[in-house]
Amino acid sequence: MPWIPHLMVMDDDPRVLESLIPGFVTELARAAEASTACNTALRRGDGGVPSTKAIQIKVSAHGYTSERLASYRYRLPHQIHLHLVCERGGRFDRARQLLNEQLFAVVVSDLRFSDDAGGQRAGQLFVDEVQRVHPHVQRILYSAYPRPDAFPPELFVRKGEAMGSHAGLASMTVRGAERHLAVPAVSAFAEAIAEQGIVYQSDAFGSTLAQIFDLARLMGSESPAPKALPRMRRPLPCLMLDGESGTGKRGLAALLHAATDRRNAPFVVASCNELTNETLLRSTLFGHKRGAFTDARDDRPGLVATAGRGVILLDDFHRLPSACTSILHSFLEDGEFSRLGEEEMRRHAESAAVLTVESQPWLDRRRSGELPLAFLARVERLPLTVSPLRERPDDIAAQARWLASAVSAEIGADIELSEDAVEGLTHQPFAESNSRELRNVIERVLIRHNRVADLITWDHLSPYFAADKTGSTVSPSSPPVPSKISVAPFPAALNDWQRRLRGLATKILARGTHLEPERSEALLSELFDQQFPALWPGTTAAREAAGKDLAIPWPVWEDLWRCFAVAWLGGPSPAERVLGIPANTLRQWINDRESK
């Protein structure tokens, strides 16, 4: 399931798009299974074992409400994403936005649209534009009207012939996907996704992959400039991947190398953890001359020279000592450098540079002011943020299932994850190392239970999320109990709302702490009957006293309390773990409130 091609069918009549569900979707899945090229690409990364499972297609509707789509069901994981797009304004904004957000393989468009959409040839004009802007995307026209004279016959389908059985349009769409895969950059990109072990299902990560693919076109060419043209001063292509630990930044750098035409040159990795001083940095990256320092007995090329016209990755760039930043100014600006002990000679790097940084440490260094603005302007030329795993629950589920299958195969077992195990994993923060943390948990559980269980449930997994920082395991059924405060308890006779809210709170508490139902209910009773009532008078008094003549409304008070909590904890990032709200969500919430 590594490569997920996106397909688009565009029309101005929702009824035509509705008619594609489920007939065209079914034919499309069959045609993809029958295609050797597509089936191989879609199954790549499944351990080399031929799969008997049918190809699953996810379908999304844009610009209209689909009643048939509400009843359409597919199994996870999906291997193809089909977008049905209704355009009726003449601008094709939805289609253009989707093309910029995901990596599309084929775009199928009706030939004729309404007059405000360009009239009789609007579809042809759009697919021609797609080919011009996204040359790797394949185009297809379908229509009940005759084919335009200038349009290739092998890319045209008669609507009367194809839309009845759907087989003709499905076959032509799959042939378009085969042509898409035949593009060298796409083929290398899809293969690299499997080689890097990247497993995803979310559109969010798919969008990240699409940005990587598009940026590869901007990262220059491995081919040298024609000798007839003078060399011009050109900025060194430089991309910065910003994300938390374990979000796959190094793998994304390898994908960029595969997608660009620099793929035939080396991909070289330099770990900035090891470049602890200026001499070591210059020697490692740029090379040194014999006698430049003690034990420098030979001339040595650096990693930049080794990379040639390929790609050099400066991994964990946020760990680079501040004293070393000045050495990289010219290199990051225009590729100029000199070997250690050879200051009189300036060389020019031909490689592209990719930097990876961890979000919070890099933000802390930026805020500290230790990094000069001129240096930051060179480093952050092409920034790309990789979202954390907890914001992509679909990817947690996909990676967990794939890891369980891979690890069980390695240990000679046949173990699967239950639905409640997958559901429990999707609610975990994985804030320390994202995918690496998920992998470690799956490995520990399967190795621990492979002799006694062939189905891993949440009961097997939950103890591994109750470990404290020292590594000891705390039983999920016996958390520390808050101290008791003697106050008037809740009324003995509860109304319907009180019972419903206590039941809801019990479920929330049980899910958040993994307690047994009885233990969760007992702890909830103690909180509602003793702890929270003790806090209520002070909270109410503060709310009314702060408002003086007019008590502050509760929604406003709730917003004020959240602002205080985030400020008290030092900002959205440190507040994330305490409040249980993603930092990006808190930032968006603050931005929304500030704009009102």
The Cβ of residue 117 has, within 10 Å, a number of other Cβ atoms equal to 19
Pick the CATH number of 400-465 from 3.90.1170.50, 1.10.8.60, 3.40.50.620, 3.20.20.80: 1.10.8.60
How far apart (Å, rounded) are the C-alpha atoms in residues 112 and 108?
Answer: 12
The Cβ of residue 372 has, within 10 Å, a number of other Cβ atoms equal to 13
Which amino acid makes up residue 182? A
Between CA 506 and CA 485, with CA 567 as vertex, the angle to 5 degrees is 40
Question: Is there a common fold for 202-224+234-385 and 400-465?
Answer: no
Orientation angle between helical segments 184-195 and 249-259, nearest 10 degrees = 160
Residue 464 CB partners (closer than 8 Å, separation 6+): 441, 444, 445, 473
- pLDDT given for residue 432 in this prediction: 84
As a whole number, the mean pLDDT across the chain is 82
The DSSP result for 102-153, as a single string, is S-EEEEEEES---GGGTGGGHHHHHHHHHHHH-TTSEEEEEESSPPPTTS-G
**Distance of alpha carbon 3 from the chain centroid:** 14
Tokens, residue 420: 């409640």
Domain boundaries, the chain: 6-189, 202-224+234-385, 400-465, 525-595
The string of pLDDT tens digits covering residues 73-85 is 888 899 999 999 9
Orientation angle between helical segments 23-34 and 167-182, nearest 10 degrees = 40
- pLDDT given for residue 465 in this prediction: 85
Pick the CATH number of 6-189 from 1.10.540.10, 3.40.50.2020, 3.40.50.2300, 3.40.30.10: 3.40.50.2300
- pLDDT given for residue 165 in this prediction: 66
Characterize the bridge pairing of strands 287-288 and 300-301. antiparallel
Residues in the chain with pLDDT values less than 70: 1, 45-52, 89, 114-120, 160-165, 220-235, 288, 291-297, 341, 343-345, 466-498, 500-501, 546-551, 556, 595-596
* Contact of 346 with 296, CB cutoff 8 Å: no
- pLDDT given for residue 561 in this prediction: 78
- pLDDT given for residue 276 in this prediction: 82
Whose tokens are 């304004």? That residue is 89
- Per DSSP, 45 falls in state T
Residue 204 CB partners (closer than 8 Å, separation 6+): 387, 391, 392
Residue 548 backbone zone (phi > 0: left; psi -120 to 50: alpha; other: beta): left
Residue 77, preceding peptide bond in cis (omega within 30° of 0): yes
- pLDDT given for residue 468 in this prediction: 42
The DSSP result for 248-273, as a single string, is -HHHHHHHHHHHSTTTTS-EEEEETT
- pLDDT given for residue 51 in this prediction: 54
Q: What is the pTM of this model?
A: 0.74
**Domain 202-224+234-385 -> CATH class:** alpha beta
The Cβ of residue 203 has, within 10 Å, a number of other Cβ atoms equal to 18
